[in-house]
Amino acid sequence: MDRSEFLDFIIKNKKIDKKVFDLSKKITDFPACYSILIKLDGSDFINTILNPSSYGEIAIAGGDIKKHNEFKNKDLREKLLKFIDDLVERAQENFTYQTYADRNEDDSNYMTIGIDLGTTNTIASYTDEDGKANSIPMKNGERILPSVVAVVKGKSKKLKFEVGQNAIWQQKNNPLDTFYSVKRFIGRRTSEVSPSLIEKYPYKIELDQEKVGISSPKLKRRLEIEEVSAQILMTIKANSEQFLGKKVKDCVITVPAYFDNNQRVATKNAAEIAGLNVLRLISEPTAAAFAYDISKKGSNSNTLVLDLGGGTFDISLVRSEGTDLDSFSVIHTLGERELGGDDYTSSIEKLIIEKMKGSESTINLDKNVLNLIREEANKAKHLLSFQEEIELNFPHLPTSSNGIVSFSCSLTRKEFETSCTKINDQLASIIKKFLAVDKVKKNKFTKVVLVGGASRMPVFTNLVKNLTKLKPQIDINPDEVVSHGAAYCGKYCVSAVVEKTIIDVTPLTLGVHTLGDIYSPLISSNTALPTRKSKDFTTAKDYQTNVDIRVYQGERKIASDNIFLDNFKLFDIQRGKAGIPSINVTFQIDMDGILTVTAIDKSTKAKQSIEITNSLNLGYEEIEKLKKEAIEMADEDIQKKVYSERVNELFNWKQQFDDLENKKISTKDKLIIDKVETCIDKIHKSDLD
C-alpha cells in the first residue's frame, strides 16, 4: 500500500482505531509517519484534520504540527512535512466536497451572492459567466436597498414588515415603528451603547435587558436586532432569486473591519433567520480592495482603503500579490464603530433646527417633524457633495398653537462643513494614528481607495488627500464596490477549487481575565486569520477544583473595561497550592473571525472547549422561532412565493398519484386523498374568483 491509499483510508475512516494502526504498518513509503504524528501531538492534530468544524481549522492544525522541531534528521523531517501537506490537502478537498455535497439538488439551480449589509443601504452582487461582478437590482430598478424596516398593516389588515424604499415612504406617519441604522446596535450590550447615540433615533431602543433590542408599539413586543436585519436579508434573497432565476442559499457577507466577535456572530444569526448560509464573513475594506484589484487586473500593490459608511469608519492596508493576484492579506486595520455618514446627517439636522428656532414662527418640533427634518437632511448631505448651496422647503409644519406654517431656508456647503468640524477631527485622528503605525510605514501604500456612500463628500475626500498626499480613487461606485468584493470572494475563495486567498486580521486584542481584574492578552489585534495561540495559567487560591475562564476583547489593561464575550468553567483541575496547577488556554479564530476557546489541565487532562458565540447569542430554539415569525410577517410577495411553491408541490403529488397504475390504497390513505382533492378544488375556485 502506498501513502496515497493510506491517506484516503484515514479520511474515510474518520477516527483513530486499530484498523488505522494496523494499516500504517503496511505503508511502503515512510511507514513511521503516522506514529510520529501521534507521538508529537497526541490525537488533537488527527482529530482536527478528520473532524474540522471549519475549513480554516485544517490549515491551522497543519501549520501547528509543522512547527515541531524535534527532528534533526533532515531527510526524515522533509518526508514528514510532505506527509502532513498531503494529509492537509486531502482533508481540505474532502471538507469542501462535503460542504457542497450537502445539497440534495443540482448546483446549477443555485447561485452564491455577495452581500454588503450596510447601516444605510444594503447591496447584493453576483459574478456572471465572464467572471465579472454585477450588482443585483431591486424590484424598483435601483441597485440599492435602503436598510430600513417598518411594521405596517398589509392589505389583509394583518401586520407585516415593509423593507426598503416603501418603509421610507411611510416613515413620516409611523416613526415609532420604522427602524433604520440598526447595524449600529447589532450584537451589542446595553452598557456599550451611549445615551447620545440612542437620542438620535425616534424609535424606542430597549435597554432593560443585557442585550440591545427595539420596542415595536404595533407588534406590542420586543424585536431583536438580528430579527430586523433578517428582514433586510430576506428581501435581498427574494429579489436576487427573482432576478437571477435561481435559488440563493449561500452568501458571503461583509462586516466592518472593526466589528468584534459578538457583532460578527449576530450578523451570521441574522442571515440564518433569513434562510441564508454564510460561507464567509469578510471585512468591508478587504472586500473593496479585492474588487478593485480583480476588476482592474492590477499588479502587486499595497492599497489603503478608507471605508466611511453610514454608521462605521474603517481604515485598512491591504497587500495583493502573486503572479495572478492569488493572495490578498490585511497588513493592519483600525476603525471606529460609532462614526459614519449618519453623524454628518445629524449635524445638518441640528443646523436646520437652529434655523427653524431662529425664525419668527413657533414650529412644533414633534417626532413627525423631526423625522421629516432627518429625511431632508439626508437629501441635503447628498446634494451638498455636488452643489455649493441648496434651498430647503418645508411647506406644511405644525405650530405650537395648532396652526400650519411653511418654512424655507438656504444651506451652504461651507455652513455644513463648519458644523461637522468635530466629526472631521475624529476622522483625522484615526487616520493619523493609523499612518503612524510601524507596519504601515514599512509597507508603503501605492494607492488610496474610498469606500462607502459618505466617502463622496468633498469634506472627506479633501481630508484624505491632505493626510495621505495621494489623490483618492473612486473609479468603482463606492456604494457597490464592497458587495462586488463579496461576490468575487464567493467565486474565488469558497469554490470547490480554491483559486485565491484572502487573509483578514482580528481587529481587537483577545484575552482572559486574571487575578485583580487584570487583562491577559493571548491574540494581539491585527493578527492574520485563521490563527491559534496558547498560554499557560495557574490558580489564585489553594486547592481550587475549578477555574472560571472569562474571555474579553479590547485594548484596555483592566479586563472589565473591555468587551466581555463569554465565560465557562474548567472542573477537575489538579488540587494543590496556589500557583502549582498548570492550565493551558488556547484561543483559535477561524476565517470569519469567530473565536473558539479551549482550556486543559496539564496534570489531570481535564478539558473544556467552547465556541464564543457570546452570552448574548440567540439559542437554536429562538432562531427557529424568529425564522417562523420572519416568514409569517414577511413581504406579501414572499408569502405568495411560498404559497405557490406549496400549491405546485400539491398538484405534482396529485398528478403522480393519478398516473399510477393498479393503485391499491387503504381507508386511511383514501381519506388523505379526499382531503387533497378538496384542497385542490378550493384552490381552483379561489383562482376563478
Grid cell for residue 153: 398593516
Grid cell for residue 432: 493619523
Residue of 57, 79, 116, 447 marked catalytic? 116
Helices and strands counted in the chain (H then E): 21, 27
CA distance linking residue 241 with residue 194, whole number of Å: 39
Catalytic site includes residue 438: no
CA distance linking residue 604 with residue 236, whole number of Å: 51
Q: Where are the alpha helices (DSSP H) in 102-217?
A: 165-169, 195-198
Rg (CA), the chain: 29
Angle, CA 206 vertex, CA 202 and CA 208 arms, to 5°: 150
Which residues, including other chains, have CB under 8 Å from residue 491's CB and lie 6 or more apart? 112, 127, 131
Longest Cα–Cα distance of the chain, Å, equals 96
Catalytic site includes residue 116: yes
Cβ contact 382:390 at 8 Å: no
Residue of 307, 314, 376, 566 marked catalytic? 307
Grid cell for residue 633: 410577517
Residue of 177, 241, 284, 592 marked catalytic? 284
Amino acid letter at 375?
Answer: E
CA distance linking residue 375 with residue 20, whole number of Å: 67
Catalytic site includes residue 307: yes
Give the residue from 550, 548, 483, 173 showing the smallest Cα distance to 309.
483
* SS3 annotation, 386-442: CCCEEEEEEEEEEECCCCEEEEEEEEEHHHHHHHCHHHHHHHHHHHHHHHCCHHHHH
CA distance linking residue 426 with residue 302, whole number of Å: 25
Cβ contact 563:609 at 8 Å: no
CA distance linking residue 286 with residue 473, whole number of Å: 15
Residue of 183, 211, 491, 500 marked catalytic? 183
Percentage helix, strand, coil, to 5, in the chain? 45, 25, 30
Q: Where are the alpha helices (DSSP H) in 571-635?
A: 620-632
Give the residue from 173, 127, 125, 169 showing the smallest Cα distance to 148.
169
Give the residue from 282, 321, 234 showing the smallest Cα distance to 491.
282
Active site residues per annotation: 116, 183, 284, 307
